[in-house]
Chains A and B, each alone.
Chain A
């Protein structure tokens, strides 16, 4: 099973990378953009058939290692079947 962990900088914390990307987008004429935040997408292939268990384990992994709760939040979901 494939589990996706998305790690994002917490709201309210300055994201210098997102700010730089937004400036570049403005330079390219995408003036409608009024906020950019850059995070990480971590793709886990796991030996697990039960989605609930896989998600619970991935949440543990995020708590322990994949995200830093001081500055980041995360979301976990199971990926769609790969065709």
Chain B
């Protein structure tokens, strides 16, 4: 697959994403500066984590109006594969490609920890390499990660099975105790109706090489790449 990793001023997980896609998975990957107005020939776009524009105003709110985002939105609306991680997820909600908003953690603290999440669906292009209800340990590192969606819209999201990952305990229990940031329904990651746009707060790109702690994050990239290659 050909991947583009978008680089915003303040992105800081762009190199990790590039390394994982290129070195770990052998993908054709390149950086795309946020001022570009063309994505070029790509099959997938990754919006990386970080603090674009210093998180000013709201996380992702200013990045959402970077010139390249018009192209990313058009690409997503045509069915292109888009993954937004952490700050990338915030950009996806700000741009309207995904519903909801990411707000301050209820603790008001920046949380940085290895976090178990439960895979809610395995019939998507992002999770087909996982087993049902599998618990992945994927780190979170955020201050604005509390997912919020108004009740009626939340019901719509749940009814269409849009939730891919929920914060849970190591044994897979989803409850208030295993919710690190106050997200509604323990939501850690969601997909759009078309199934081609994924947003998640945890950082799978930080757990793809067993030399670096463990490689629970691999399953997500493997799912996307294998399905694309075998399609």
Contact = CB atoms under 8 A, between A and B. Distances in A.
Contacts of A13: 103, 148
Contact of A70 (B100, B104, B107): B100
Interface residues of A, number: 10
Interface stretch (A14-22, A26-34, A49-57): A14-22
Nearest to B109: A16
Contacts of A65: 57, 61-62, 65
Contacts of A14: 106, 182
Contacts of A68: 58, 61, 94, 101
B65 A71 contact: no
Please classify the interface of chain B as helix (H, G, I), strand (E, B), loop, or mixed, using the class held by over half of its residues. Answer: loop
A16 B57 contact: no
B118 to A, nearest CB: 24
Contacts of B61: 65, 68
B182 A70 contact: no
Given A13-B148, A68-B58, A70-B148, A20 B101 contact: no
Interface of B: 57-58, 61-62, 65, 93-94, 99-101, 103-108, 146, 148-150, 182
Interface of A: 13-14, 16-17, 20, 65-66, 68, 70-71
Q: Please name the 9 residue pairs, one residue from A and one from B, whose CB atoms are nearest each other, closest first.
A: A70-B101, A71-B101, A16-B106, A16-B108, A16-B104, A68-B101, A20-B108, A71-B148, A68-B58
